[in-house]
């Protein structure tokens, strides 16, 4: 059975749980659950993007609470059991980071959260720790409403990657 057929055949509760692993917005996960069955993976991705575009600031902030801070690799498995392995893969760029970069990210995350009221969210896949630090520093200059939209866009990218992982998992 294909993973798409598996996903389409889950009970609503099971499907909502799986979609929540991809994006922590309850409204989005429920809408994706109701949108089933998907005739193709492309249709699933298209619908996921369209439904994310219909969400707003409350949904974005809720989704952000389901992510660890960039660089907080030690807490990934503890706090985020449902997505810990995925988050760890996404943050592979942290593995070779020097202590100076790790400390700068920790300090920057703290300052970012104090300024904006939510964690720094970036699609970390394929980015080095130094690249993520540069993005964090650049985004600190954004007005709060603009930064919330930027972070929501990053969540959309993360959601797509996680949906791909969901459909490719054994």
**Domain boundary assignment for the chain:** 3-59, 63-154
- pTM to 2 decimals? 0.84
Q: Are 62 and 157 in contact (CB under 8 A)?
A: no
Mean pLDDT score of the chain: 88
pLDDT in tens, 101-124: 888 888 999 999 999 999 999 998
Superfamily grouping for domain 63-154: Oxo-4-hydroxy-4-carboxy-5-ureidoimidazoline decarboxylase (1.10.3330.10)
Q: Token pair for residue 5?
A: 């057929």
Q: Is 78 exposed, middle or buried (0-12, 13-18, 19+ CB in 10 A)?
A: exposed
- Same CATH fold assignment for domains 3-59 and 63-154: yes
For every residue of 68-84, DSSP letters joined together read: PPTT-GGGHHHH-TTTH
CATH topology (fold) of 3-59: UraD-like (1.10.3330)
């Amino acid at each position: 059975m294909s993973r798409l057929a598996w996903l389409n055949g889950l009970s609503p509760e099971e499907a909502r749980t799986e979609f929540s692993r991809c994006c922590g917005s309850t409204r989005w996960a429920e809408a994706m659950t109701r949108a089933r069955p998907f005739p193709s993976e492309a249709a699933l991705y298209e619908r996921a993007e369209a439904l994310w575009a219909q969400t707003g600031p409350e949904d974005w902030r809720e989704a952000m609470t389901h992510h660890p801070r960039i660089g907080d690799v030690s807490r990934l498995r503890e706090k985020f059991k449902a997505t810990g392995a995925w988050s760890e893969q996404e943050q592979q760029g942290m593995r070779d980071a020097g202590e100076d970069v790790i400390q700068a990210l920790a300090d920057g995350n703290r300052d970012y959260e104090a300024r904006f009221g939510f964690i720094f969210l970036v699609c970390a896949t394929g980015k080095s720790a130094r690249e993520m630090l540069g993005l964090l520093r650049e985004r600190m200059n954004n007005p709060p409403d603009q930064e919330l939209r930027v972070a929501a866009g990053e969540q959309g990218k993360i959601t797509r990657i996680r949906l791909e992982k969901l459909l490719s998992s054994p």
